[in-house]
């Protein structure tokens, strides 16, 4: 074997090792985030010993959880900026009101996602988020005149039929709710998907002409979301009671920390995976993560899934895998350079496609990835 062949094999092994590492870390981060989300919203905590408090109580303030996630993410963004000594990124790279426009949508999407778990099961929520593909295609067609292939439409149709079949084939009601009230969870997921899909298709135009780094985007989207969350909690008078619950119930402190850790690390690995290995790799890993999360929810929390619902899940996830496979085949025949490792960044379009393929993570990540796309396009125009 020649020295060149040895070098090629070594580079290939190194790249494969990094891909596996990114995939495992991404799946692990989001599964921790998903499980902690379900645990906090659907499992009671022991009382603090107060005579006026029941032996077991639920934590019901989902907006407070979102606020804590935003605080952790903002701290992570500032730390990353300081470590890189990119002090100019501490200033907003675009008008602050544009960050607030995105933050309102993401705050609404994430809060409704948490609240939905009070009424519907986690697997139901997961499949609903897969159905985000449909409104994203509709919004993109209406707002940006984007065209989709026949495979895209076929995948969207299969996802939609699979979700409807899942709802009809078995129980979709949360363990802490009544069957007649599961429509509330469905409505909340409709709000989640609608607000998230609209901003996914619309926010690109908000940031045209601005040179924004990933950490700058992450800092100010999180900061703006956090300030809105604080104002809402102060207005309805639940901020202090949520802090009191956090201080008096030891078990929830670890759960909240793991929730925030999964959300922040998930943001990092999502952005890094799309940058380094492209949208197709990311979509495939996300599909595996969705399957693992549904199976894990059934095993850990005892969520029941009927055989017909398993078939419906297979239809949905099979459609997503087929869509990713076709996209991979098209990408292999294109003239795009091959990614060799974690130091090489693909074109911005891969970031945008990855964001639209994504169906489960902190909704805030959509903003980070979409804004990265705008920055890449602006740089490409500057080099033309």
Q: Return the CA Rg of the chain.
A: 21
Residue 268 CA to residue 271 CA, distance in Å, equals 5
Q: According to DSSP H, which parts of 131-181 are helical?
A: 133-144, 150-169
146 Ramachandran zone, left/alpha/beta (phi>0; psi -120 to 50): beta
With contact defined as beta carbons under 8 Å apart, do 276 and 90 qualify? Answer: no
Query: Whole-prediction pTM value?
Result: 0.75
The enclosing H or E element of 71 equals helix 62-84
Question: Beta strands of the chain (E only): which ranges?
Answer: 45-46, 56-57
Instruction: Give the number of other Cβ atoms within 10 Å of residue 356's Cβ.
Output: 21
Residue 71 CA to residue 91 CA, distance in Å, equals 17
Helix (H, G, I), strand (E, B) or coil at 120: strand
213 DSSP assignment? -
Can you give 333-370 as a three-state secondary structure string?
CCCCCCCCCCCCCCCHHHHHHHHHHCCCCCCHHHHHHH
Phi, psi of 343 (to 5 degrees): -100, -5
Residues of the chain with pLDDT under 70: 1-10, 47-55, 143-144, 198-208, 279, 331-384
With contact defined as beta carbons under 8 Å apart, do 270 and 351 qualify? Answer: no
pLDDT at res. 208:
65
pLDDT at res. 331:
62
């Amino acid at each position: 074997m020649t020295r060149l062949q040895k070098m090629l094999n070594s580079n290939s092994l190194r790249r494969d090792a990094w891909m596996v590492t990114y995939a495992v870390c991404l799946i692990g981060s989001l599964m921790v985030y998903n499980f902690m989300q379900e645990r906090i919203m659907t499992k009671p905590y022991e009382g603090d010993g107060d005579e006026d408090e029941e032996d077991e109580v639920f934590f019901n303030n989902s907006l407070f959880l979102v606020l804590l996630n935003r605080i952790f993410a903002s701290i992570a963004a500032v730390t990353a900026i300081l470590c890189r000594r990119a002090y100019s990124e501490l200033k907003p790279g675009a008008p602050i009101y544009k960050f607030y426009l995105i933050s309102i949508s993401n705050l609404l999407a994430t809060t409704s996602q948490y609240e939905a778990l009070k009424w519907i099961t986690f697997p139901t929520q997961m499949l609903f988020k897969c159905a985000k593909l449909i409104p994203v295609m509709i919004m993109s067609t209406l707002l940006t005149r984007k065209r989709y292939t026949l495979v895209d439409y076929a995948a969207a149709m299969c996802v939609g039929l699979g979700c409807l079949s899942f709802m009809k084939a078995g129980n979709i009601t949360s363990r802490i709710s009544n069957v007649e009230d599961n429509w509330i969870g469905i409505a909340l997921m409709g709000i989640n998907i609608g607000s998230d899909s609209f901003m996914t298709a619309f926010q690109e135009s908000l940031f045209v002409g601005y040179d924004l780094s990933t950490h700058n985007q992450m800092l100010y989207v999180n900061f703006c979301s956090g300030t809105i969350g604080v104002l809402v909690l102060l207005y309805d008078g639940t901020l202090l009671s949520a802090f009191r619950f956090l201080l008096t119930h030891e078990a929830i402190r670890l759960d909240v920390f793991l929730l925030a850790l999964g959300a922040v690390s998930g943001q990092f690995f999502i952005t890094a995976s799309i940058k380094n290995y492209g949208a197709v790799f990311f979509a495939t890993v996300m599909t595996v993560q969705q399957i693992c999360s549904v199976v894990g929810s059934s095993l850990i929390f005892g969520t029941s899934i009927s055989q017909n619902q398993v078939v419906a899940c297979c239809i949905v996830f099979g459609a997503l895998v087929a869509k990713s496979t076709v996209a991979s085949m098209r990408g292999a025949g294109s003239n795009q350079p091959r990614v060799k490792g974690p130091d090489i960044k693909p074109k911005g379009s891969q970031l945008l496609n990855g964001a639209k393929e994504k169906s489960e993570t902190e909704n805030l990540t959509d903003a980070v990835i979409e804004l990265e796309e705008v920055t890449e396009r602006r740089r490409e125009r500057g080099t033309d």
